[in-house]
């Protein structure tokens, strides 16, 4: 274990995998000038004091994309260390309820199929989210649920 890890800033992030009725997932591209600029990600943001993860996800999506979502089941929690930051990503599958997504806090947004996710460059921590989604779908298909 790296002894410097405990001195890194730690952010707890609520992350949304937002599905629409066409079985597409909403992703957004980070602004070029910020940290990990230009990479694609699943939308979400930092947990505020006194907030639940579900409240955080709903608030962040309203602020960043101007849409309303229903926060669904927990998909995965990921602890990841970047060189200058520790993050805990708590990921929930969500459903788009209403509104047209607007790129308020990002450069671009897209609805994509699960298979298309691998065509986009994501931050390292997000790769595990894609793997968890693929595994969940594969398990559903094998058990006859899809």
d(CA 146, CA 110): 24
Is 44 annotated as a binding-site member? yes
* Mean pLDDT value across the chain: 92
**What pTM value is reported for the model?**
0.90
pLDDT at residue 64 in the model = 96
Mean pLDDT score, 27-52: 94
Q: How much of the chain, in percent, has pLDDT values that exceed 70?
A: 95
The answer, yes or no, to whether residue 144 has pLDDT greater than 90, is: no
Place 1 in a pLDDT band, splitting at 50, 70 and 90. Answer: very low
Is 54 annotated as a binding-site member? no
Is 120 annotated as a binding-site member? no
Is 43 annotated as a binding-site member? yes
- Residue 29 CA neighbour count, 13 Å, CB half: 11
Please give the DSSP secondary-structure letter assigned to residue 47.
Answer: P
Place 6 in a pLDDT band, splitting at 50, 70 and 90. Answer: low
Is 29 annotated as a binding-site member? no
Q: Taking the alpha carbons of 67, 112, 77, 80 in that order, is the dihedral positive or negative? A: negative
The residue that leads in pLDDT, 79 or 140, is 79
pLDDT digits (tens, 9 = 90+) for 64-122: 999 999 999 999 999 998 888 899 999 999 999 999 999 999 999 999 999 999 999 99
């Amino acid at each position: 274990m790296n002894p410097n890890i405990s001195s890194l800033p730690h952010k707890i992030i609520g992350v949304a995998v937002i599905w629409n009725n066409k079985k597409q997932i909403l992703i957004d591209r980070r602004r070029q000038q910020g940290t990990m600029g230009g990479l694609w990600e699943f939308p979400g943001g930092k947990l505020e004091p006194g907030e639940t993860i579900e409240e955080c996800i709903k608030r962040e999506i309203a602020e960043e994309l101007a849409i309303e979502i229903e926060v669904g089941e927990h998909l995965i929690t990921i602890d990841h260390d970047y060189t200058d930051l520790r993050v805990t990503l708590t990921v929930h599958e969500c459903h788009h309820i209403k509104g047209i997504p607007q790129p308020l806090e990002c450069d671009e947004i897209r609805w994509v199929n699960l298979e298309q996710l691998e065509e986009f460059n994501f931050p390292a921590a997000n790769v595990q989210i894609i793997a968890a989604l693929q595994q969940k779908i594969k398990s559903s298909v094998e058990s006859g649920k899809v």
